[in-house]
Amino acid sequence: MPIPKVAFGVSILIGFGWPVHAQTQGHYGIGRTATDAEIAGWNIDIGRNGENLPPGSGSVGHGREVFAEQCSACHGRNGEGGVGERLVGGQGTLATAKPIKTVGSYWPYAPTLFDYIRRAMPQNAPQSLSNDDVYAVSAYILNMNGFVMPDATLDAKSLSAIEMPNRKMFTADPRPDVKNRACEKAC
């Protein structure tokens, strides 16, 4: 079967290294590689030690205001819960038949509170709060649980310094399929 002249010409050009560029696509032939700016927009995780906390600060007083406007409809006026989870109390209940898991009783690291609020709250508009508002709401919730004073203002350094009571109760995952169990950085 004769090869058409066009196909023959293309094969000669490719054979002699004529630069032919094809746009690389993903494994399934769809999508594109994310830009650095797109990745940066989602690369907002905060380490348990406070690594990657952003600049800013927030007071308990301002947090009370933001909580009343943005959080109380789901979590209750005083963090007692409602449609959303209870945030306050529960200390001393984890070993009982009915443990109450709250920020005050269960969470091991204060910076992860900032991380969760910034990523997921308010539920109807995640990532809509400013960093200052997230520090303030974190300060208010930690104040309601007795971890900071009513006149406290939190920033990256002071939030990272808070020792949560359940910090030492979390252990490494011993399952053999879990990699880097105790790794936090440069793993």
Cα(28)–Cα(20) distance, rounded to whole angstroms?
21
5-34 core/surface letters (b: 16 or more CB in 10 A; e: else): eeeeeeeeeeeeeeeeeeeeeeeeeeeeee
Q: Is residue 9 part of a domain?
A: no
Q: Residue 168 has what pLDDT?
A: 85
Q: Is the pLDDT of residue 10 over 60?
A: no
Q: Is residue 21 part of a domain?
A: no
Q: Is residue 127 part of a domain?
A: yes
Q: Is residue 97 part of a domain?
A: yes
Q: Is residue 184 part of a domain?
A: no
Structural domains of the chain, count: 1
Cα(131)–Cα(138) distance, rounded to whole angstroms?
10
Q: Is residue 10 part of a domain?
A: no
Q: Which domain holds residue 133?
A: 59-163
Q: Is residue 26 part of a domain?
A: no
121 close to 63: Cβ distance less than 8 angstroms: no
Task: CATH number of the domain at 130, please.
Answer: 1.10.760.10
pLDDT tens-place string over residues 88-143: 999 999 989 999 999 999 999 999 999 999 999 999 999 999 999 999 999 999 99
Peptide bond into 122 cis (omega under 30): yes
Q: Residue 42 has what pLDDT?
A: 82
Cα(172)–Cα(42) distance, rounded to whole angstroms?
27
Q: Is residue 50 part of a domain?
A: no
pLDDT tens-place string over residues 139-186: 999 999 999 999 999 999 999 999 999 988 877 777 777 765 555 554
